[in-house]
Amino acid sequence: MPKKFRGDKKTRTQTRAAAPALHKPVAAIGDLLARRPLLRALGAAQAPQTEWRQWLQQTLPPELAAHLVQVVLKPGQLIAYADGAVWSNRLRYALAAIAGDIAARDHSIRRTTVRVAPSGTAPRVG
C-alpha cells in the first residue's frame, strides 16, 4: 500500500480546526424567558403558584407544610403535590379542613386535588 502524503493525512489540528462549534454560548434563564412568548407565559404563571404555595405553607401545620412540594393552578382547580403517599393523604384531609379559607382567598377555585410528586422530578422549593 502506498504511503500517504502529508496533505492527505488527517491530523489532530486539521480535524479540530475543521469541526464546527457544537456548543452554543450559555444564556441566562431570564434572557430565555424574555425572548420566547411561551416561556414568558410560563414565567408569568409561576408567580401565582409560588404565592399559593407560600400561603399554604403558612396556613398548614409545620410538619405537613414541610412535605408540600409544589402547587399548580388550573382553571377552577388547585393541585397540591406532596412528597409521599402518606403525606399526600394527610394533605388531602388538611386541605378539606381549610376549604373555606381557600374559597375566601380565591372564589374561582371549586376543587382541590392532591397528588404525589414523582420522586426526583419535582424539586422542593422554599
Query: Is 31 a member of any domain?
Result: yes
Residue 21, pLDDT > 80, answer no
Residue 113, pLDDT > 60, answer yes
Q: Which residue's C-alpha cell is 410560563?
A: 42
Query: Is 28 a member of any domain?
Result: yes
Sorting pLDDT into bands at 50, 70 and 90, what band is 126? very low
Query: Is 112 a member of any domain?
Result: yes
Between 1-10, 42-51, 75-84, 93-102, the lowest mean confidence (pLDDT) is in 1-10
Question: In 10 A of CB 60, how many CB atoms?
Answer: 20
Query: Is 1 a member of any domain?
Result: no
Give the type of residue at 117: A
Query: Is 121 a member of any domain?
Result: no
Query: Is 125 a member of any domain?
Result: no
Residues 6+ apart with CB under 8 A from 71: 49, 52, 53, 56, 78, 79, 80, 81
Domain that residue 92 falls in: 9-116
Task: Count structural domains, the chain.
Answer: 1
- Segment 41-55 mean pLDDT: 85
Query: Is 42 a member of any domain?
Result: yes
Query: Is 124 a member of any domain?
Result: no
